[in-house]
Structures are given as C-alpha cells and as structure tokens.
C-alpha cells in the first residue's frame, strides 16, 4: 500500500490521527467529505482513519494544507519526493523529445495530437523545450510526423 520510505512513522501517525479525528468531529463531517475537502481519494483516507495504514507523506501534506493542523511528517524526506508527472508530460518527454533528438523526426498518432491540444499546442510545447519543429504529411496526406526544422 505505499512505499515504506514515503510512509510516516508510527509516532507521527499516533500524533496526527487524534488531531484529524477531532477536526472531523468538530465539523460534523463524514470521512468521505473530509477526503474530498483535503483533495485525497476516499479509498486512501479510509484505511488511514481506520488505523490500517499510516499514510504517505503526500497524503499528510495534503491534509495539513487543507486543515492547517499541526501535522507531523519528515520534512527532509518530503522535500525529496519527486512530483508526479502527468501522462502528457511523460509522453512529451519520454517519447516525442527522445525521438526528435535521436532521429530528427517522430510519428505521432492523430489521437495524441488531439489529446495534447492540437498541432499548434504540440509545436508550442516542443518550442518550450527548445526544439524548433513542424508537422509534415505522411504518405496518406495526414500531418502526423513532427520533424525538426533545418537550421
């Protein structure tokens, strides 16, 4: 249920849990409403509140931001947790940019172009990474190939 290194300690959990339970009871909230308030998935918060799982540092950070309670977690570890990448970022960095820099061109499915916001948006994203690109037509006349512009 979560990476052990990113999970809070038992002492921190024993300190945080009564604070959260008191917060919920003072506001007459249901657990699912509290989860929504903290922008945490209900299936994540339920085991934490039931004592089945201590919770990850990211979960407790969200709870602290939403409630302004004195929640404890290891700040040194929290600062080293990498930010989650969106699927779009992952696709752009690990597919488009990798292939453009390696081969000079890349095929992109028309659905991916639409998914990323259209051809102009794709070009803008790549320009933000310092790549001057253009769409060219494939054999069927559809603009699905991104090519680095000649300098």
Please report the pLDDT score of residue 84 as a whole number: 62
Would you identify the CATH topology of the domain 4-78? 434 Repressor (Amino-terminal Domain) (1.10.260)
What mean pLDDT value characterizes the chain?
84
| pLDDT > 80? residue 83 | no
- What pTM value is reported for the model? 0.53
Residue 82 has pLDDT above 80, yes or no: no
- The whole-number average pLDDT for the span 126-130 is 85
Q: What is the spatial distance between Cα 148 and Cα 132, in angstroms, rounded to a whole number?
A: 6
Which whole number is the average pLDDT over 96-115?
87
Domain residue ranges in the chain: 4-78, 87-148
Measured N-to-C along each axis, helices 57-67 and 42-50 cross at an angle, to the nearest 10 degrees, of 90
Q: By the 8 A CB rule, do 117 and 105 touch?
A: no
Contacts of 151 (CB under 8 A, 6+ apart): 132
The mean pLDDT value for 85-103 works out to 82
CA dist list (Å): 109 to 75, 116, 118, 119 = 42, 11, 12, 11
């Amino acid at each position: 249920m979560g990476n052990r290194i990113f999970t809070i300690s038992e002492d921190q959990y024993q300190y945080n849990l009564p604070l959260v339970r008191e917060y919920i009871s003072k506001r007459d909230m249901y657990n699912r409403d509290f989860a929504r308030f903290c922008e945490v998935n209900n299936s994540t918060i339920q085991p934490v509140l039931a004592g089945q799982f201590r919770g990850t540092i990211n979960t407790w950070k969200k709870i602290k931001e939403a409630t302004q309670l004195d929640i404890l977690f290891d700040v040194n570890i929290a600062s080293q947790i990498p930010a989650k990448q969106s699927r779009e970022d992952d696709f752009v960095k690990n597919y488009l940019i990798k292939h453009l820099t390696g081969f000079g061109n890349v095929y992109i499915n028309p659905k991916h172009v639409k998914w990323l916001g259209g051809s102009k948006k794709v070009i803008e994203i790549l320009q933000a990474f310092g790549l001057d690109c253009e769409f060219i037509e494939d054999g069927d006349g559809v603009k699905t190939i991104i090519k680095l512009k000649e300098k």
